[in-house]
Amino acid sequence: MSAKAKPRILFVGPLPPEAGGLAGHGGIATHCWELAREAARHGYAVSILTDSADSFSQDGIVVCGYPRPRRVAMALHALRHRHEFPVKIPTGSPVASSKEKLKISYHLSRLNDAIKAVKPDILHVHSLHNPFGLAAALAEIDIPIVVTNHEFYPQGQTDLEIEKAHIILNRTARLICISNHTRQRMTQFGLGYQDPIRVIPIPVHSRRYPLKDRPRAKQRLGLSTNPTILFIGSANAIAKKGLDILLMAAAEDRSLAATCQLVIRCNSHDATRARLLARKGHLNIKLVERIPEEMMPDTLGAADVFAMPSRSEGFGIVYLNALLSGTPVVGFTGTLAQIESQLGIEVGEKYDPHTEDKHELAAKIRRVLDTDFPRFEVRRRVVAVYDWERRFVEFADVYQGLKP
């Protein structure tokens, strides 16, 4: 590759449903796809290794899909190929178990197939939890690895997840964190990195979320003229995104319960508990499992407040999309503090689930509903700071600084 040539990039991560990915993928999938599209638009040769059932080409991107096999099929595949791709696993490491070795062998085989097909100069792995990142690190593949840490958030065996992250970080050429919070969270788990960490917030496509006339947007969605509280959480709506806190806050505040309608998007598992909480609190709610992409501008624009009181949040791109739509936000303090600092303006109310309760959340929602929100100025500042047109150069700088 010549000094001026742009590197070939193989992204490794999920895709959103509108790009052929599985339902339930959240902000990581959206960012992976949008970053790949921007890279392709800027002249990079781009491929994605993802869990799509099919392989295809779209928007100048080669998608290398692999079907998620059942455990038995994965084990058989791994056993057939285990001698083709030797890996160096530290003695006594939690990843040295037979079960983990089979997983590593399977993912390394799939990764090797993609590398042979597209011949990348750089691997860009999304998430420290990505099994392909672990496989690439252990195999010591001779390709520079860029990792985007969306948020280190162990949900199973914490020691095992920490060990995997350590292995990935030891082989990472460039590390990107999507927020100051994600960088701080690494420190909380004892995860270090030898080189400077780039903090690059997830950019947005401002043209996709224009300002909407709120009464007309409500009418198009079949909503009443009452104040509307919107919550969107594609996965972990209760365990992580704080939907239960929101519903209890609305139920125990007479003003919110009597006058507000709640529009909630979550998966079917979380929807079951949400219905029970809403019925108990006599709340007026509209539950949906999916919002078509073409309906998102009206949905965000129809809301009087977007409330997602997450227990933890890597960045929360939906906060920015709400602000682009002229809707104030009540959300995770770590994210909103960074957004307000970078925009130089208040965007709603920050909520800390570790020091505040449902009553304080209700008070903050009421305060936002009673405040005149400078929607035009907030949108202008979000476009100026976070739009892809202004932020892709930061990713280009990461890629061009690597020499295969």
Which residue stretches of 303-352 are H helix?
317-324, 333-343
Please check whether residue 368 lies inside any domain of the structure.
yes
CA atoms of 66 and 320, how far apart (whole Å): 32
SS3 122: strand
What CATH number does residue 186 fall under? 3.40.50.2000
- The string of DSSP letters for 142-193 reads SS-EEEEES-----S-HHHHHHHHHHHHHT-SEEEESSHHHHHHHHHTT---
> Are 295 and 364 part of one and the same domain?
yes
Predicted local distance difference test score (pLDDT) of residue 1: 46
Which of 261-297 are b and which e, b meaning 16 or more Cβ less than 10 Å from the residue's Cβ? bbbbbbbeebbeebeebbeebebbbebeeebeeeebb
Two tokens at 147? 């990792």
> Are 221 and 244 part of one and the same domain?
yes
Helix (H) or strand (E) holding 109: helix 98-118
> Are 195 and 235 part of one and the same domain?
no
CB-side neighbour CA atoms (13 Å) of 332: 24
pLDDT in tens, 163-208: 999 999 999 999 999 999 999 999 999 999 988 999 999 999 999 9
Please check whether residue 4 lies inside any domain of the structure.
no
Please check whether residue 2 lies inside any domain of the structure.
no
> Are 348 and 214 part of one and the same domain?
yes
> Are 333 and 369 part of one and the same domain?
yes
Sign of CA dihedral 268, 19, 400, 389: negative
Please check whether residue 1 lies inside any domain of the structure.
no
> Are 226 and 81 part of one and the same domain?
no
Please check whether residue 42 lies inside any domain of the structure.
yes
> Are 309 and 178 part of one and the same domain?
no
> Are 186 and 269 part of one and the same domain?
no
Q: How many domains does the chain have?
A: 2
Report yes or no: 374 and 382 within 8 Å, Cβ to Cβ. Answer: no
- The string of DSSP letters for 224-236 reads -SS-EEEEE-SS-
> Are 111 and 199 part of one and the same domain?
yes
Predicted local distance difference test score (pLDDT) of residue 6: 87
> Are 221 and 356 part of one and the same domain?
yes
Two tokens at 303? 């809301």
The CA distances from residue 330 to 89, 219, 256, in Å, are 45, 24, 14
Helix (H) or strand (E) holding 99: helix 98-118
> Are 254 and 279 part of one and the same domain?
yes
Nearest residue to 308 via CA among 322, 287, 296, 290:
322
Tell how far CA 86 is from the center of its chain: 32
Q: Which domain holds residue 289?
A: 206-386
- The stretches in the chain having pLDDT less than 50 are 1-3
Predicted local distance difference test score (pLDDT) of residue 157: 87
> Are 140 and 273 part of one and the same domain?
no
Please check whether residue 3 lies inside any domain of the structure.
no
- Using only C-alpha atoms, the chain has a radius of gyration, in whole angstroms, of 22
Predicted local distance difference test score (pLDDT) of residue 168: 95
Please check whether residue 176 lies inside any domain of the structure.
yes
Please check whether residue 341 lies inside any domain of the structure.
yes
Helix (H) or strand (E) holding 267: none
